């Protein structure tokens, strides 16, 4: 195989891993959202989410800088209606670190919310469909969530 076609195959593999990983993660969320969290289904949900996230992260190895920039450009064009040929400026090291910090906070928050949802589903029973989570009754959970969102966004 020649070098350009090998690179093309590698980038296509990266895109396939990225799409498959996102699909598995969404299916895992869907399985949990429909309440399939008893017995072996918990392992299924965790497996789908974990494998999906691993595939998304693994796709970066195949995509490389060029492939990742292509995904970034395509999503930016679709979501922000930015021109595909628009250039971006380099960011300072301090701003890059701030962005990485935001990314870490986002990922940790994502996993906390995901873990809380799975735990809530596994604790729900027919006798008590609205379990106590983190010491909060069902009636207290809504106001606590609104308070937390207001503290973060407000």
Residue 122 lies in a domain: no
Residue 125 lies in a domain: no
Residue 136 lies in a domain: no
Instruction: Return per-residue pLDDT of the chain as tens, 154 residues.
Output: 456 677 677 878 888 898 899 899 889 888 877 777 666 777 788 888 889 989 988 888 888 877 877 777 777 777 776 666 666 678 789 988 998 999 899 888 888 887 877 777 777 777 777 777 677 787 887 888 788 878 877 6
Is the Cβ–Cβ distance between 42 and 122 less than 8 Å?
yes
What is the structure's pLDDT at 119? 76
Which among 79, 152, 72 has a CA at the least distance from the CA of 112? 152
CA distance 142 to 146: 6
Dihedral pair phi/psi, residue 125, rounded to 5°: -130, 175
Residue 106 lies in a domain: no
Is the Cβ–Cβ distance between 14 and 69 less than 8 Å?
no
Give CA separation, 131 vs 36, 142, 151, in Å.
16, 13, 25
Q: Which residues pair with 136 in a beta bridge?
A: 133
State the total domains in the chain. 1
Residue 141 lies in a domain: no
Contacts of 116 (CB under 8 A, 6+ apart): 133, 134
Residue 97 lies in a domain: no
Structure tokens at 64: 């490389």
Which residue segment(s) compose the domain that 79 sits in? 3-90
């Amino acid at each position: 195989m020649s070098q350009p076609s090998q690179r093309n195959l590698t980038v296509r593999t990266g895109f396939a891993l990225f799409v498959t990983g996102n699909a598995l993660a969404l299916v895992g969320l869907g399985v949990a959202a429909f309440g399939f969290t008893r017995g072996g289904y918990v392992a299924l949900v965790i497996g789908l989410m974990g494998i999906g996230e691993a595939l998304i992260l693994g796709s970066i190895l195949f995509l490389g800088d060029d492939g990742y920039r292509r995904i970034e450009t395509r999503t930016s064009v679709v979501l922000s209606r930015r021109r595909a040929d628009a250039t971006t400026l380099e960011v300072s090291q301090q701003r890059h670190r701030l962005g990485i910090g935001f990314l870490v906070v986002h990922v940790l928050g994502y996993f906390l919310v995901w873990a809380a949802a799975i735990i809530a589903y596994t604790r729900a029973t027919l006798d008590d469909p609205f379990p106590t989570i983190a010491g909060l009754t069902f009636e207290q959970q809504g106001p606590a969530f609104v308070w937390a969102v207001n503290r973060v966004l407000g």
